[in-house]
Amino acid sequence: MKYAEITGWGSYVPPLLMTNDDMSKIVDTSDEWIFSRSGIKQRHYAHVSVGKMAWLACDRALAAAGVDPEDIDLIILGSTTPEEICPNTASYIKNELGAKKAAAFDLNSACTSWFYGVNVATDMIKAGSIKKALVVGSERISLAMDWQKRESCFLFGDGAGAVVLEASDKKVGLLSSHMGCVPDSRECLHLPSWGMSPLHWTGDIFISLNFEGQEIFKSAVRGMSDSISHVLEQEGLTAEDIDLFIPHQANMRIIQTLAKRLNFPMAKVVVRIDEYANTSAASIPLALCDAIADGTVKPGMTILTATFGAGLTCGAGIIKWGERVTAKTISESEIPEYDGSVFDLMADSFAHYGVDAQHLLTKNP
Ligand SMILES: CC(C)(COP(=O)(O)OP(=O)(O)OC[C@H]1O[C@@H](n2cnc3c(N)ncnc32)[C@H](O)[C@@H]1OP(=O)(O)O)[C@@H](O)C(=O)NCCC(=O)NCCS
Protein backbone atom coordinates (compact mmCIF):
# COMPACT_ATOMS: atom_id res chain seq x y z
CA MET A 1 0.00 0.00 0.00
CA LYS A 2 1.35 3.41 -0.99
CA TYR A 3 0.74 6.62 0.93
CA ALA A 4 1.19 10.27 -0.15
CA GLU A 5 3.65 12.05 2.11
CA ILE A 6 3.85 15.84 2.28
CA THR A 7 7.55 16.35 1.59
CA GLY A 8 7.60 20.02 0.60
CA TRP A 9 5.72 23.19 1.47
CA GLY A 10 5.90 26.80 0.36
CA SER A 11 3.87 29.97 0.38
CA TYR A 12 3.74 33.46 -1.02
CA VAL A 13 2.11 36.32 0.84
CA PRO A 14 1.89 39.59 -1.08
CA PRO A 15 3.53 42.40 0.89
CA LEU A 16 0.82 45.10 0.58
CA LEU A 17 -1.35 45.32 3.68
CA MET A 18 -4.93 46.55 4.04
CA THR A 19 -5.42 46.99 7.78
CA ASN A 20 -8.81 47.36 9.45
CA ASP A 21 -8.07 51.07 9.89
CA ASP A 22 -7.35 51.31 6.14
CA MET A 23 -10.64 49.50 5.50
CA SER A 24 -12.50 52.04 7.62
CA LYS A 25 -11.34 54.78 5.22
CA ILE A 26 -13.21 52.99 2.40
CA VAL A 27 -16.39 51.68 4.06
CA ASP A 28 -18.33 52.57 7.21
CA THR A 29 -16.66 50.20 9.67
CA SER A 30 -14.06 50.09 12.45
CA ASP A 31 -11.15 47.98 13.65
CA GLU A 32 -13.11 47.20 16.81
CA TRP A 33 -16.17 45.90 14.89
CA ILE A 34 -14.17 43.81 12.42
CA PHE A 35 -11.85 42.28 15.01
CA SER A 36 -14.59 41.45 17.51
CA ARG A 37 -16.86 39.84 14.83
CA SER A 38 -14.20 37.98 12.87
CA GLY A 39 -10.76 37.99 14.55
CA ILE A 40 -9.32 39.75 11.48
CA LYS A 41 -6.77 42.54 11.94
CA GLN A 42 -5.50 42.93 8.38
CA ARG A 43 -5.34 41.27 4.99
CA HIS A 44 -2.67 41.19 2.24
CA TYR A 45 -3.63 42.32 -1.27
CA ALA A 46 -1.82 41.03 -4.35
CA HIS A 47 -0.32 43.11 -7.16
CA VAL A 48 0.30 39.97 -9.23
CA SER A 49 -1.88 37.20 -10.63
CA VAL A 50 -3.09 34.00 -8.99
CA GLY A 51 -0.78 32.10 -11.36
CA LYS A 52 2.29 34.14 -10.40
CA MET A 53 1.65 33.74 -6.66
CA ALA A 54 1.02 30.02 -7.15
CA TRP A 55 4.23 29.64 -9.16
CA LEU A 56 6.34 31.11 -6.32
CA ALA A 57 4.60 29.02 -3.65
CA CYS A 58 5.22 25.89 -5.78
CA ASP A 59 8.84 26.86 -6.47
CA ARG A 60 9.40 27.17 -2.71
CA ALA A 61 7.60 23.88 -2.02
CA LEU A 62 9.74 22.05 -4.61
CA ALA A 63 12.91 23.47 -3.03
CA ALA A 64 11.74 22.38 0.43
CA ALA A 65 11.11 18.86 -0.91
CA GLY A 66 14.35 18.81 -2.90
CA VAL A 67 12.33 17.69 -5.93
CA ASP A 68 13.16 18.60 -9.52
CA PRO A 69 10.16 20.17 -11.34
CA GLU A 70 10.73 17.72 -14.20
CA ASP A 71 9.85 14.85 -11.84
CA ILE A 72 6.37 16.21 -11.03
CA ASP A 73 3.53 14.16 -12.57
CA LEU A 74 0.60 16.42 -11.72
CA ILE A 75 -0.10 20.03 -10.75
CA ILE A 76 -3.48 20.93 -9.27
CA LEU A 77 -4.33 24.58 -8.73
CA GLY A 78 -7.15 25.10 -6.26
CA SER A 79 -8.63 28.55 -6.84
CA THR A 80 -11.85 30.51 -7.14
CA THR A 81 -10.13 33.48 -8.75
CA PRO A 82 -7.92 32.23 -11.61
CA GLU A 83 -7.28 35.00 -14.14
CA GLU A 84 -8.30 32.80 -17.04
CA ILE A 85 -10.60 29.84 -17.48
CA CYS A 86 -9.19 28.73 -20.83
CA PRO A 87 -6.39 27.81 -20.84
CA ASN A 88 -6.34 26.86 -17.21
CA THR A 89 -3.92 28.54 -14.81
CA ALA A 90 -2.29 25.29 -13.70
CA SER A 91 -0.74 25.01 -17.19
CA TYR A 92 0.83 28.47 -16.68
CA ILE A 93 2.35 27.27 -13.38
CA LYS A 94 3.61 24.12 -15.11
CA ASN A 95 5.37 26.13 -17.81
CA GLU A 96 6.86 28.67 -15.38
CA LEU A 97 8.26 25.87 -13.22
CA GLY A 98 9.53 23.83 -16.16
CA ALA A 99 7.52 20.83 -14.97
CA LYS A 100 7.70 19.31 -18.43
CA LYS A 101 5.87 16.02 -17.94
CA ALA A 102 3.23 17.23 -15.46
CA ALA A 103 -0.48 17.09 -16.20
CA ALA A 104 -2.13 20.28 -14.99
CA PHE A 105 -5.66 21.25 -14.04
CA ASP A 106 -7.57 23.82 -12.02
CA LEU A 107 -10.04 22.72 -9.39
CA ASN A 108 -12.72 25.02 -8.04
CA SER A 109 -14.73 24.16 -4.97
CA ALA A 110 -14.17 27.68 -3.51
CA CYS A 111 -12.37 27.77 -0.16
CA THR A 112 -12.14 23.96 -0.01
CA SER A 113 -10.29 23.78 -3.38
CA TRP A 114 -6.83 23.08 -1.95
CA PHE A 115 -8.18 20.40 0.36
CA TYR A 116 -10.20 18.78 -2.44
CA GLY A 117 -7.02 18.90 -4.57
CA VAL A 118 -4.97 17.17 -1.88
CA ASN A 119 -7.63 14.43 -1.80
CA VAL A 120 -7.47 13.92 -5.58
CA ALA A 121 -3.66 13.85 -5.70
CA THR A 122 -3.41 11.58 -2.64
CA ASP A 123 -5.86 9.08 -4.11
CA MET A 124 -4.01 9.10 -7.46
CA ILE A 125 -0.72 8.42 -5.66
CA LYS A 126 -2.34 5.66 -3.60
CA ALA A 127 -3.77 4.13 -6.79
CA GLY A 128 -0.31 4.17 -8.37
CA SER A 129 -1.21 6.35 -11.35
CA ILE A 130 1.22 9.13 -10.31
CA LYS A 131 4.20 9.38 -7.95
CA LYS A 132 4.74 13.10 -7.30
CA ALA A 133 2.24 15.95 -7.28
CA LEU A 134 2.07 19.64 -6.49
CA VAL A 135 -1.16 20.97 -4.98
CA VAL A 136 -1.39 24.72 -4.62
CA GLY A 137 -4.15 27.01 -3.34
CA SER A 138 -3.89 30.55 -4.68
CA GLU A 139 -6.38 33.41 -4.54
CA ARG A 140 -6.55 37.04 -5.58
CA ILE A 141 -9.93 37.52 -4.06
CA SER A 142 -9.37 41.25 -3.48
CA LEU A 143 -10.41 41.75 -7.12
CA ALA A 144 -13.87 40.36 -6.34
CA MET A 145 -14.63 42.70 -3.42
CA ASP A 146 -17.74 44.82 -3.67
CA TRP A 147 -16.89 48.07 -1.89
CA GLN A 148 -20.55 48.89 -1.46
CA LYS A 149 -20.97 45.91 0.87
CA ARG A 150 -19.33 46.56 4.21
CA GLU A 151 -20.71 43.25 5.51
CA SER A 152 -18.39 41.18 3.31
CA CYS A 153 -15.53 43.29 1.87
CA PHE A 154 -13.43 43.06 5.05
CA LEU A 155 -13.40 39.27 5.19
CA PHE A 156 -10.98 38.28 2.46
CA GLY A 157 -7.28 38.48 1.58
CA ASP A 158 -4.85 37.20 -1.07
CA GLY A 159 -2.00 34.69 -1.04
CA ALA A 160 -0.83 31.24 -2.07
CA GLY A 161 0.30 28.03 -0.37
CA ALA A 162 1.55 24.78 -1.90
CA VAL A 163 2.60 21.28 -0.94
CA VAL A 164 4.55 18.54 -2.70
CA LEU A 165 3.10 15.05 -2.27
CA GLU A 166 5.28 12.01 -2.89
CA ALA A 167 4.55 8.28 -2.88
CA SER A 168 5.79 6.63 0.30
CA ASP A 169 5.67 3.19 1.91
CA LYS A 170 5.34 4.81 5.35
CA LYS A 171 1.86 5.36 6.76
CA VAL A 172 1.94 9.18 6.42
CA GLY A 173 0.08 11.97 4.63
CA LEU A 174 -3.70 12.25 4.33
CA LEU A 175 -4.86 9.03 6.00
CA SER A 176 -8.59 9.66 6.30
CA SER A 177 -10.71 12.18 4.59
CA HIS A 178 -14.28 13.24 4.09
CA MET A 179 -15.48 15.62 1.38
CA GLY A 180 -19.03 16.90 1.44
CA CYS A 181 -21.42 19.55 0.22
CA VAL A 182 -24.14 20.87 2.55
CA PRO A 183 -27.54 20.50 0.80
CA ASP A 184 -29.56 23.58 -0.24
CA SER A 185 -26.98 26.15 0.74
CA ARG A 186 -25.73 27.35 -2.66
CA GLU A 187 -27.32 30.79 -2.45
CA CYS A 188 -25.91 31.98 0.88
CA LEU A 189 -22.46 32.58 -0.64
CA HIS A 190 -22.64 33.46 -4.30
CA LEU A 191 -20.73 35.48 -6.90
CA PRO A 192 -23.42 35.53 -9.61
CA SER A 193 -21.38 37.36 -12.26
CA TRP A 194 -18.14 35.42 -11.75
CA GLY A 195 -17.91 33.06 -14.72
CA MET A 196 -19.58 32.93 -18.12
CA SER A 197 -22.94 34.44 -17.21
CA PRO A 198 -21.87 38.10 -17.84
CA LEU A 199 -21.48 37.17 -21.51
CA HIS A 200 -25.28 37.16 -21.74
CA TRP A 201 -25.46 40.71 -20.43
CA THR A 202 -24.81 44.19 -21.67
CA GLY A 203 -23.33 47.08 -19.75
CA ASP A 204 -20.91 47.21 -16.84
CA ILE A 205 -20.12 44.03 -14.96
CA PHE A 206 -20.27 44.21 -11.19
CA ILE A 207 -18.74 41.31 -9.31
CA SER A 208 -21.05 41.38 -6.36
CA LEU A 209 -20.84 38.94 -3.52
CA ASN A 210 -24.25 37.74 -2.30
CA PHE A 211 -23.70 36.87 1.28
CA GLU A 212 -25.77 35.69 4.22
CA GLY A 213 -23.18 35.69 6.99
CA GLN A 214 -25.16 33.97 9.71
CA GLU A 215 -26.46 31.27 7.36
CA ILE A 216 -22.88 30.55 6.22
CA PHE A 217 -21.73 30.49 9.83
CA LYS A 218 -24.31 27.86 10.84
CA SER A 219 -23.84 25.68 7.73
CA ALA A 220 -20.05 25.88 8.06
CA VAL A 221 -20.07 24.70 11.66
CA ARG A 222 -22.56 21.93 10.87
CA GLY A 223 -20.74 20.76 7.71
CA MET A 224 -17.27 20.76 9.29
CA SER A 225 -18.47 19.07 12.49
CA ASP A 226 -20.05 16.25 10.47
CA SER A 227 -16.91 15.80 8.38
CA ILE A 228 -14.70 15.81 11.47
CA SER A 229 -16.85 13.16 13.21
CA HIS A 230 -16.62 11.08 10.05
CA VAL A 231 -12.81 11.11 9.81
CA LEU A 232 -12.24 10.61 13.54
CA GLU A 233 -14.49 7.57 13.39
CA GLN A 234 -12.80 6.29 10.22
CA GLU A 235 -9.39 6.40 11.92
CA GLY A 236 -10.71 5.18 15.28
CA LEU A 237 -9.52 8.40 16.95
CA THR A 238 -10.95 10.84 19.47
CA ALA A 239 -10.17 14.53 19.84
CA GLU A 240 -7.52 13.64 22.45
CA ASP A 241 -5.51 11.80 19.81
CA ILE A 242 -5.17 14.95 17.70
CA ASP A 243 -1.94 16.92 18.20
CA LEU A 244 -2.83 19.92 16.06
CA PHE A 245 -5.94 21.32 14.37
CA ILE A 246 -5.50 23.45 11.24
CA PRO A 247 -8.96 24.70 10.20
CA HIS A 248 -9.97 26.89 7.28
CA GLN A 249 -9.50 30.49 8.42
CA ALA A 250 -12.82 32.22 7.73
CA ASN A 251 -13.88 33.59 11.09
CA MET A 252 -12.31 33.30 14.54
CA ARG A 253 -15.75 32.64 16.07
CA ILE A 254 -16.36 29.74 13.67
CA ILE A 255 -12.98 28.25 14.68
CA GLN A 256 -13.76 28.72 18.39
CA THR A 257 -17.22 27.18 18.01
CA LEU A 258 -15.74 24.13 16.29
CA ALA A 259 -12.99 23.73 18.89
CA LYS A 260 -15.59 23.95 21.66
CA ARG A 261 -17.81 21.32 20.01
CA LEU A 262 -14.79 19.03 19.70
CA ASN A 263 -13.70 19.76 23.24
CA PHE A 264 -10.39 20.74 21.75
CA PRO A 265 -8.08 23.29 23.48
CA MET A 266 -7.47 26.46 21.45
CA ALA A 267 -3.75 26.08 22.32
CA LYS A 268 -3.66 23.22 19.77
CA VAL A 269 -5.43 25.21 17.03
CA VAL A 270 -3.47 27.07 14.36
CA VAL A 271 -5.00 30.53 13.94
CA ARG A 272 -3.74 32.92 11.25
CA ILE A 273 -6.95 34.79 10.45
CA ASP A 274 -5.71 37.87 12.31
CA GLU A 275 -2.79 38.16 9.88
CA TYR A 276 -4.30 37.05 6.54
CA ALA A 277 -8.13 37.18 6.85
CA ASN A 278 -9.85 34.53 4.71
CA THR A 279 -7.59 33.64 1.78
CA SER A 280 -10.06 31.00 0.53
CA ALA A 281 -8.22 28.09 -1.13
CA ALA A 282 -4.88 29.35 0.22
CA SER A 283 -5.91 29.53 3.86
CA ILE A 284 -4.99 26.03 5.08
CA PRO A 285 -1.68 25.68 3.20
CA LEU A 286 -0.69 29.20 4.35
CA ALA A 287 -1.47 28.30 7.97
CA LEU A 288 0.36 24.97 7.57
CA CYS A 289 3.49 26.67 6.17
CA ASP A 290 3.52 29.17 9.04
CA ALA A 291 3.02 26.39 11.60
CA ILE A 292 6.01 24.51 10.14
CA ALA A 293 8.13 27.68 10.06
CA ASP A 294 7.47 28.56 13.71
CA GLY A 295 8.08 25.00 14.95
CA THR A 296 4.45 24.21 15.82
CA VAL A 297 4.39 21.19 13.48
CA LYS A 298 6.56 18.43 14.93
CA PRO A 299 7.67 15.10 13.41
CA GLY A 300 5.02 12.37 13.54
CA MET A 301 2.17 14.66 14.58
CA THR A 302 -1.44 13.71 13.95
CA ILE A 303 -3.01 16.78 12.38
CA LEU A 304 -6.71 17.40 11.88
CA THR A 305 -7.88 19.79 9.20
CA ALA A 306 -11.40 20.98 8.35
CA THR A 307 -12.72 23.33 5.73
CA PHE A 308 -15.80 24.83 4.05
CA GLY A 309 -16.53 27.13 1.14
CA ALA A 310 -19.18 28.31 -1.27
CA GLY A 311 -21.46 25.52 -2.33
CA LEU A 312 -21.40 25.00 0.62
CA THR A 313 -18.61 22.52 0.14
CA CYS A 314 -16.94 21.14 3.23
CA GLY A 315 -14.50 18.50 4.38
CA ALA A 316 -12.10 17.25 7.01
CA GLY A 317 -8.98 15.12 7.02
CA ILE A 318 -6.45 13.44 9.29
CA ILE A 319 -2.87 14.05 8.19
CA LYS A 320 -0.03 12.05 9.70
CA TRP A 321 3.12 14.15 9.44
CA GLY A 322 6.38 12.45 8.45
CA GLU A 323 9.81 12.86 10.05
CA ARG A 324 11.04 16.02 8.37
CA VAL A 325 9.94 19.52 9.38
CA THR A 326 12.84 21.41 7.81
CA ALA A 327 13.26 22.34 4.17
CA LYS A 328 15.86 20.43 2.16
CA THR A 329 16.78 23.58 0.22
CA ILE A 330 15.50 27.16 0.09
CA SER A 331 14.27 28.75 -3.13
CA GLU A 332 15.80 32.13 -3.98
CA SER A 333 13.00 33.12 -6.36
CA GLU A 334 11.12 36.34 -5.59
CA ILE A 335 8.39 38.54 -7.04
CA PRO A 336 9.29 42.26 -7.36
CA GLU A 337 7.31 44.45 -4.96
CA TYR A 338 4.60 46.92 -6.03
CA ASP A 339 5.63 50.54 -6.29
CA GLY A 340 2.77 52.27 -4.48
CA SER A 341 0.32 51.96 -1.61
CA VAL A 342 -2.57 49.53 -1.16
CA PHE A 343 -4.95 52.38 -2.08
CA ASP A 344 -3.05 52.93 -5.35
CA LEU A 345 -3.27 49.21 -6.07
CA MET A 346 -7.03 49.14 -5.52
CA ALA A 347 -7.82 52.55 -7.09
CA ASP A 348 -9.63 51.14 -10.14
CA SER A 349 -11.66 48.75 -8.01
CA PHE A 350 -12.73 51.56 -5.64
CA ALA A 351 -13.67 53.77 -8.59
CA HIS A 352 -15.66 50.93 -10.19
CA TYR A 353 -17.84 50.67 -7.08
CA GLY A 354 -18.24 54.43 -6.74
CA VAL A 355 -15.95 54.91 -3.72
CA ASP A 356 -14.10 58.23 -3.70
CA ALA A 357 -10.56 57.32 -2.67
CA GLN A 358 -8.68 60.01 -4.64
CA HIS A 359 -7.44 61.70 -1.45
CA LEU A 360 -5.83 58.41 -0.32
CA LEU A 361 -3.76 57.87 -3.47
CA THR A 362 0.00 58.48 -3.46
CA LYS A 363 0.35 58.10 -7.22
CA ASN A 364 -1.28 60.22 -9.90
CA PRO A 365 -4.50 58.53 -11.06
C1 LIG B 1 -19.83 38.27 8.34
C2 LIG B 1 -19.92 38.09 9.85
C3 LIG B 1 -18.56 38.40 10.48
C4 LIG B 1 -20.93 39.08 10.39
O5 LIG B 1 -21.09 38.93 11.78
P6 LIG B 1 -22.56 38.95 12.43
O7 LIG B 1 -22.36 38.87 13.87
O8 LIG B 1 -23.33 37.84 11.75
O9 LIG B 1 -23.09 40.38 12.05
P10 LIG B 1 -24.47 40.77 11.33
O11 LIG B 1 -24.38 40.42 9.88
O12 LIG B 1 -25.60 40.20 12.13
O13 LIG B 1 -24.48 42.34 11.46
C14 LIG B 1 -24.64 42.96 12.73
C15 LIG B 1 -24.72 44.46 12.53
O16 LIG B 1 -23.43 44.96 12.10
C17 LIG B 1 -23.60 45.73 10.92
N18 LIG B 1 -22.41 45.55 10.09
C19 LIG B 1 -22.24 44.66 9.06
N20 LIG B 1 -21.01 44.81 8.55
C21 LIG B 1 -20.39 45.76 9.26
C22 LIG B 1 -19.09 46.33 9.22
N23 LIG B 1 -18.16 45.93 8.33
N24 LIG B 1 -18.78 47.29 10.12
C25 LIG B 1 -19.69 47.70 11.04
N26 LIG B 1 -20.93 47.21 11.11
C27 LIG B 1 -21.28 46.23 10.25
C28 LIG B 1 -24.86 45.23 10.28
O29 LIG B 1 -25.38 46.24 9.44
C30 LIG B 1 -25.72 44.91 11.48
O31 LIG B 1 -26.27 46.12 11.94
P32 LIG B 1 -27.75 46.16 12.57
O33 LIG B 1 -27.68 45.26 13.78
O34 LIG B 1 -27.94 47.59 12.90
O35 LIG B 1 -28.65 45.65 11.51
C36 LIG B 1 -20.32 36.63 10.22
O37 LIG B 1 -21.67 36.40 9.92
C38 LIG B 1 -19.48 35.59 9.49
O39 LIG B 1 -18.26 35.57 9.62
N40 LIG B 1 -20.08 34.68 8.74
C41 LIG B 1 -19.34 33.69 7.99
C42 LIG B 1 -18.68 34.37 6.84
C43 LIG B 1 -17.71 33.54 6.09
O44 LIG B 1 -17.04 32.79 6.66
N45 LIG B 1 -17.61 33.70 4.78
C46 LIG B 1 -16.67 33.04 3.97
C47 LIG B 1 -17.07 31.67 3.66
S48 LIG B 1 -15.73 30.73 3.00
Does residue 150's CB lie within 6 angstroms of at least one atom of ligand 1?
yes
Smallest CA-to-CA distance from 155 within 43, 261, 266, 61 is with: 43
Residues of the chain with pLDDT under 70: 199-206, 364-365
Q: Is residue 151 lining ligand 1, measured as CB closer than 6 Å? A: yes
pLDDT of residue 213: 84
Residue nearest to atom 37 of ligand 1 (CA): 213
What are the tens digits of pLDDT across the range 152-197? 999 999 999 999 999 999 999 999 999 999 888 888 888 887 887 7
Annotated catalytic residue 153: no
Asked if residues 168 and 106 have their Cβ atoms less than 8 Å apart, the reply is no
Longest CA–CA span in the chain (Å) reads 62
Give the pLDDT confidence of 224-247 residue by residue, as tens digits: 999 999 999 999 999 999 999 999
- Residue 205: per-residue pLDDT: 67
- Quick one: pLDDT at residue 215? 86
Closest CA to 251 of 278, 282, 270: 278
Please tell me the pTM assigned to this model.
0.96
Q: What is the Cα Rg of the chain in Å? A: 20
pLDDT for 197:
74
Domains of the chain: 3-328 (3.40.47.10)
**Residue 66, pLDDT score:** 98
CA dist 260 and 122 (Å) reads: 30
Cα separation, 331 vs 153, in Å, equals 34
Q: What is the pLDDT of residue 210?
A: 81
Q: What is the pLDDT of residue 99?
A: 98
